[in-house]
Amino acid sequence: MRRASVIIESYSKCAVTSILLFSVFFAVSACGRKGPPTLKAYEKPQAPGGLSAVRRENRITLTWSYPGNLRESLNGFVVLRAEGGGFERVGFASHDENSFIDEAFNTDVKYRYKVVAQSLKGILSNDSNVIALIPRRVPASPQDMHFSVKGGSVELSWKSSGEGSCYNIYRTADKGEYKDTPLNKEPVCTTFFRDTATSPDRTVYYTVRALNMSGILDEGPASEEVEVNPSHFVPLAPTDLRVVRSTDKIHLIWKESPEPWVKGYRVYRRKDKEQGFTFLGETIIPAFTDTEKVKGKVWYIIRAIGSQSESEPLTGVAK
């Protein structure tokens, strides 16, 4: 009987161990098992929108929009082009991109473009809007670039690139590196542009491209690059200096310089029989008081302070 009990007890331990091992295996297997595919994975994705095109020299750049919260369910975007006949695939963009560059085209040929979204399961969306364009011969680059700083603005001018040409103006803080968006909201059809959103405390660069107004923006090559740095922001001189002498002081009042970026004013003085002017001090308002008791004639100079330069002098005398 004792032997039988031992056998039964051993068998019971083995059975319990087997059950535990099976339970663990079943639990692990169940955790790693994927559920059945849902119908949502096979839904048609939303179509891209806002398809537009810009042609610059030998590139046609297509751009479109797509909701950011839906991009993770996409494989990407299929770009299609038609030249006379039906649409054919010409490119593919990843799910996090909004643009495609087509460099394989000819001038004076009509093209149509559209874009469709492709899901991770390969399901294609409906078409985006279709755009049609005919790339034309681009105008020459603008020549003879000039600039001047007046008030708080940079004024650019150039020679015409030909009859019917309009222009886009680009600005950057990084030499030679320009974004695709110009400063002007609409093409400029004169040979002059005023940039009012400038800062005298940094160096910026400009370039201009001529374009045809042919349904799309047919931009030609860039003009020479123009550099505008803080040394070019020289303020105009203040005006209308009034010198009033009291018992022991001399008061100076003037009209301030027109530039919004003027940092203040420096005041210089020359006493009678002195050879040169002596710096007295600075003020941020258009007024200054000379507290030294000075007899005889006294000459004063007021200069506006720019980012790196002073203005021409405004002069006055106290008799």
- Model pLDDT, residue 36: 55
Rounded-to-integer distance, Cα 119 and Cα 43, Å: 8
What topology is assigned to 45-133 in CATH? Immunoglobulin-like (2.60.40)
pLDDT at 170 over 60: yes
Dihedral pair phi/psi, residue 148, rounded to 5°: -150, 155
HSE toward the beta carbon, residue 179, CA cutoff 13 A: 7
- Model pLDDT, residue 8: 37
Average pLDDT over residues 184-202: 92
What CA–CA distances, in Å, run from 136 to 4, 161, 182, 217?
101, 15, 20, 10
Contact 79, 104 (CB under 8 A): no
Average pLDDT over residues 155-168: 93
pLDDT at 7 over 60: no
| pLDDT, tens digit, 9 for 90 and up, residues 292-305 | 988 889 999 999 99
Rounded-to-integer distance, Cα 286 and Cα 302, Å: 9
What CA–CA distances, in Å, run from 176 to 103, 197, 205?
22, 20, 8
Q: How many C-beta neighbours within 10 Å does residue 289 have? A: 15
pLDDT interval class at 14 (50, 70, 90): very low
Q: Tell me: domain 239-318, CATH 2.70.70.10, correct? A: no
- Model pLDDT, residue 215: 63
CA dihedral of residues 16, 20, 21, 26 (deg, nearest 10): 140
Q: Range(s) for CATH 2.60.40.10 in the chain?
A: 45-133, 143-232, 239-318
Q: Tell me: domain 143-232, CATH 3.90.1150.10, correct? A: no
Q: Strands 226-228 and 250-255: what pairing?
A: unpaired
pLDDT at 247 over 50: yes
104: left (phi over 0), alpha (psi -120 to 50) or beta: beta
pTM: 0.66
pLDDT at 27 over 80: no
| pLDDT, tens digit, 9 for 90 and up, residues 112-151 | 999 999 999 999 999 999 999 998 888 899 999 999 998 7
Contact 133, 110 (CB under 8 A): yes
pLDDT at 40 over 80: no
pLDDT at 220 over 70: yes
Rounded-to-integer distance, Cα 60 and Cα 150, Å: 37
- Model pLDDT, residue 120: 94
Average pLDDT over residues 195-207: 91
- Model pLDDT, residue 22: 39
- The rounded percent of the chain whose pLDDT value lies above 90 is 66
Beta pairing partners, 261: none
Q: Strands 49-56 and 216-222: what pairing?
A: parallel
pLDDT at 23 over 60: no
Instruction: Tell me how far the alpha carbon of residue 181 is from its chain's centroid.
Output: 7
pLDDT interval class at 156 (50, 70, 90): very high
Average pLDDT over residues 211-219: 77
- The rounded percent of the chain whose pLDDT value lies above 70 is 86
